[in-house]
Amino acid sequence: MKQIVFESPSQQLWKRFCKNKVGLWALGLILFLTLIAAATLLLSWLGLPWPMNPNATDLSQKLLLPNRLHWLGTDHLGRDVFSRMLHGAPISLTVGFTTVIVSLSIGVLIGSVAGYCGGKIDQLLMRLVDAFLCFPTFFLILTAVALLGPSLMNIIVVIGLVSWTGTARLVRGEFLTLRETQYINAAQILGQKSSTIILRHILPNAAGVILITAVLGIPEAILAEAGLSFLGFGVQPPQATWGNIIADGKTYLLEAWWLILFPGFAIFITALAFYLVGDSLREAGEKK
């Protein structure tokens, strides 16, 4: 007798995602970038920056074209651009991943309570979401960072605290749909607590939507951090980030094009990879 195997919605989503070659290639690129960033961070902690110290200056080597020694050229202080880009990768990815954790924590909490409880609680929480949506997100982030001071922790907290609204609305919509299903009604009739129903029955079935939201939120955080660093409100020099490398290069745009091109391409390809994975997950979620 053939055994029937029941798969969770997350397992079904993963199986459908694996059939999308573009999504898999993009996921592989993300994993590769993450490994490179982790290795760079580990070597830096061990006092072995590779391929060279990203903050070491040598004015005799300033604004050199890409060559055998400096693969991506040097900046106006003679610092190796390739090394600075490698050491900027952990900053961008750290901001992306940790910001999403903060925004998901707030968005899932508010969205699940609003969607499950409904009524006046739902209306009150949604008006709170609407109030946050009235403000342009990036200018709100810029203002908050300017008041609190530019630091990695402040950037993560501020971006996370203002980017949860989309997650809250999506989770609320999913909860409104799932709470009307028969198995949720059965759990309520059996007298299970609301917290148990949310955590054990609804959230696992809403995991696909939450995952897609998380993946699509990472590149937005990376782009926000790059924008803040470019404007001088991000992580401060001499710590290298992709945004402040571009900021340093804007003065030398005509004579040192590599200071704009290579970090700009790194931001573009990283954001594109996350967007492709998120879009592939969305398509997999739509195929039932």
- pLDDT tens figures, 50-72: 888 999 999 999 999 999 999 99
* 3 state DSSP class of 80: strand
Does the pTM exceed 0.95?
no
Q: Are 89 and 40 in contact (CB under 8 A)?
A: yes
Distances (CA, A) of 180 to 62, 118, 145: 65, 12, 42
State in Å, rounded, how far the first CA of the chain is from the last one.
Answer: 26
Q: Are 42 and 206 in contact (CB under 8 A)?
A: no
- pLDDT tens figures, 242-282: 999 999 899 898 889 999 999 999 999 999 999 999 999 98
Would you report the helix, strand and coil content of the chain in percent, each value rounded to 5?
Answer: 75, 0, 25
Q: What is the spatial distance between Cα 139 and Cα 228, in angstroms, rounded to a whole number?
A: 10
**pLDDT, average across residues 180-201:** 85
Q: Which fold would CATH assign to domain 17-45+74-286? A: MetI-like fold (1.10.3720)
**pLDDT, average across residues 1-5:** 51
- Among 223, 240, 198, residue whose Cα is nearest residue 99: 223
